[in-house]
Chains A and B, each alone.
Chain A
């Protein structure tokens, strides 16, 4: 761009003109700092990591780090363990949020308070939720105490709700449901309420109205919500160690990557696992997006 500006003569001015017609001129430089930043701190490290992943610890260049990951059942198992947590959590968060969001549509007293309360776990984050769950759902926690008091659980065998698969799943649900609820609510508010009235006047009952009008218009939003909660659940890290069973059932892939990085100092393997992790996530996202592209995605008649 600068080169063009410096050149003189009719040739240069016509090139500048043609570039300007396509929207290229010096004000575009405003975007340069952010672009340089992303290239330097995101793309470059990513490519560096990619390169590193092909330089296994034992030397040379090759697929050694990937081969080692796939040869070790304990390592490969992390993919399955991550999916076993992330997929049910993401599905549950979306499916549970839809009826709640439907009921809580429109204005009512206390809505602001309710949405504030729902936002709390998002801002508290996974670490604090884990700490709370350890106290609340632990062996001597209030949940078990309550279950014992009503004689649902034997005094000597309290329910094991934390330090296992369920603890992590609970923590994913506590932080994920509000997230999904808020997103779905905003998508719902984008659907013009008169569409539903129109369907009611044409004789559709609430089931039909939901399945024929709301659901098709909401589906792309549900897909987006699913993807975003999946990303959250997929990258589960602190809760997997704190309320899970980090050596066993909740040794998720991010933990494997972290251990390779911080405990084994095997940067090549760590990068390889991180790359695989990104790849697996992209595959799931691509599948959801592929499904979403088959849906109606135009205007939903309401406010954006």
Chain B
């Protein structure tokens, strides 16, 4: 298909060309430059984290793994990773429990005020996290939840619940509603319709949205930054603090932590891509949302 599109304007020339056209060179060139930039960003962190000393040369003078043990101790990565996992898992479970029933109603029912409600659910996704993060953090401080684990979880739930709704609503919509009617006609009560017919059909969708919430929560900086205390900091916020206090710590140990963060993100990503389409990682805002 792309060949047809990129065929040159001159109608006499054959459509399929062996030699790439200038426009193709341009596009591939841009892609390659982008990938080089990306590789540079990642590899330079990786190399630095293993370098013993690195001044004015292409590569460090020697390689070592000592920065990892330093980082592990200095940044207390063990507890930080535990907190990150606890926050992420709690956010996943609660957002699925809240979001899936809501998506079911939004997908299946027409009722007065539905559009307004849907808009309300989508608002946190469209707003910059700082905009609602500051009032939210202020509120959490007032009820003494800020700087606690429940507070961080609550803050991260604000964009997570809409995200579950955003991915689950189209998913439920594509399940034929007469399947539920058919189960009813076969004599199934609401309970068995849910456990025997709906639940097995919903599992792939729930898995996909759980994975997406995981990626977003582990990577969510602003909300955690605004609400976390010393004992409720996640990996990404810890990394930010470490970078901001550069000079106090060895740059290499900061990079070692960055690699730990990167590896955990990539593991999540590999798992994620088994279940979801890459586009879903970005957004699945239905067009009506923005009307």
Task: Please say whether the chains A and B touch (CB closer than 8 A).
Answer: yes
Residues in B whose Cβ lies below 8 Å from that of A61: none
Q: How far is the CB of B158 from chain A (nearest CB, A)?
A: 5
Check: B37 CB closer than 8 A to any chain A CB: yes
Are A124 and B265 closer than 8 Å at their CB atoms?
Answer: yes
Contact among B2, B4, B290 with A289 in the assembled complex (CB-CB below 8 Å): B290
A28 partner residues in chain B, CB cutoff 8 A: 105, 109, 111
Q: Which residues of chain B have C-beta atoms less than 8 A from A261's C-beta?
A: 134, 137-138, 226
A165 contacts across to B, CB distance below 8 A? none
Which of A8-16, A65-73, A130-138 has 4 or more CB atoms under 8 Å from chain B? A130-138
A91 at the A/B interface (Cβ < 8 Å)?
Answer: no
Contacts of A124 in B (CB 8 A): 42, 219, 262, 265
Check A296 for interface membership: any CB of B closer than 8 A.
Answer: no
A56 an interface residue at 8 Å Cβ cutoff? Answer: no
Docked Cα-Cα span, A183 to B269, in Å, equals: 18
Q: Is the CB of A119 within 8 A of B290?
A: no
Total number of residue pairs linking A and B with CB closer than 8 Å: 284
B93 to chain A, nearest CB (A): 13
Cβ proximity bits A182-215 to B, threshold 8 Å, 1 near / 0 not: 1101100000010011001000011101100000
Quick check: is B99 within 8 A (CB to CB) of the other chain?
A: yes
The answer for the CA separation of A247 and B291 in the assembled complex, in Å, is 38
Q: Is the CB of B120 within 8 A of A38?
A: yes
| A264-298 contact mask (Cβ, 8 Å, vs B): 1 or 0 | 00010011001101100100010001001100010
Residue of A nearest to B283 (CB): A228
A33 touches B27 (CB 8 A): no
A261 to B262, CA, bound (A): 30
B157 within 8 A of A: yes
Contact A119:B98 (CB < 8 A) given known A37-B157, A196-B5, A241-B244:
no
Known contacts: A103-B2, A131-B243. The answer to whether A140 contacts B56 by CB under 8 A is yes
Query: Given that A31-B117, A124-B265 are contacting pairs, would A238 and B126 also be in contact in the complex, using a CB cutoff of 8 Å?
Result: no
Is A38 a contact of B278 with CB atoms below 8 Å?
no
**From residue A295, how far is it (CB to closest CB) to chain B in Å?**
11
B interface: dominant SS: helix
Question: Which of B6-14, B61-69, B71-79, B196-204 participates in binding chain A?
Answer: B6-14
A100 at interface (Cβ–Cβ under 8 A)? yes
Chain A interface residue count, CB cutoff 8 Å, equals: 105
Decide: A135 near B48, CB < 8 A? Known: A128-B239, A182-B281, A277-B130: yes
Residue of A nearest to B56 (CB): A140
Cα distance A275–B9 in the bound complex, in angstroms: 51
Per the bound structure, the CA–CA distance linking A289 and B128 in Å amounts to 18
Q: Are B31 and A132 in contact (CB under 8 A)?
A: no
Query: Which chain B positions have C-beta within 8 A of A100?
Result: 27, 30-31
Choose among B45, B104, B243 the residue that contacts A242 (Cβ–Cβ < 8 A): B243
For B259-291 the 0/1 string (1 means CB < 8 A from A) is 001100110110011000011011101010011
Q: Determine whether the beta carbon of A136 is less than 8 Å from that of B132.
A: no
Q: How far is the CB of A73 from chain B (nearest CB, A)?
A: 22
- Give Cα distance in the complex from A27 to B248, angstroms: 58
Cβ 8 A contact of B128, one of A127, A179, A277:
A277
B24-46 with Cβ < 8 A to chain A: 24, 26-28, 30-31, 34-35, 37-38, 40-42, 44-45
Q: Is the CB of A104 within 8 A of B2?
A: yes
Interface residues on B, range: 35 or more
Contact B117 A42 (CB under 8 A): no
Q: Are B55 and A238 in contact (CB under 8 A)?
A: no
Contact of B58 with A37 in the complex, beta carbons under 8 Å: no
Is B1 an interface residue when CB atoms closer than 8 A count as contact?
A: yes
Mask of A30-41 contacts with B, CB within 8 angstroms, 1/0: 110111011001
Give the CA-CA distance A285 to B222 in the complex, in Å.
Answer: 21
A207 to B2 CA separation, bound complex (whole angstroms): 13
Please tell me if the beta carbons of B101 and A30 are within 8 angstroms of each other in the complex: yes
Given contacts A42-B123, A52-B138, A121-B38, is CB(A210)–CB(B5) below 8 Å? yes
* B144 interfacial by beta-carbon distance below 8 Å: no
Chain A residues, Cβ within 8 Å of B177: none
Known A-B contacts A142-B58, A182-B281, A227-B290; the reply to A49 vs B35 at CB < 8 A is no
Establish whether residues A254 and B157, one from each chain, have CB atoms under 8 Å apart when the complex forms.
no
Partner of B99, one of A34, A105, A267: A34
B1, B9, B133, B155: which contacts A106 (Cβ < 8 A)?
Answer: B1
B interface residue numbers (CB < 8 A to A): 1-2, 4-9, 11, 23-24, 26-28, 30-31, 34-35, 37-38, 40-42, 44-45, 48, 55-56, 58, 97-99, 101-102, 104-106, 109-112, 117, 120-121, 123-124, 126-139, 154-155, 157-158, 161-162, 165, 215, 219, 221-222, 226, 236, 239-240, 243-244, 254-255, 258, 261-262, 265-266, 268-269, 272-273, 278-279, 281-283, 285, 287, 290-291
User: Could you name 5 residue pairs across A and B whose Cβ atoms are closer than 8 Å?
Assistant: A30-B104, A121-B41, A128-B239, A131-B255, A174-B41
Which residues of A are at the interface with B, using a C-beta cutoff of 8 A?
Answer: 22-24, 27-28, 30-31, 33-35, 37-38, 41-46, 48-50, 52, 96, 99-100, 102-106, 114-137, 140-143, 145, 170, 174, 177-179, 182-183, 185-186, 193, 196-197, 200, 205-207, 209-210, 220, 224, 227-228, 231, 234-235, 237-238, 241-242, 254, 257-258, 261, 267, 270-271, 274-275, 277-278, 281, 285, 289, 292-293, 297
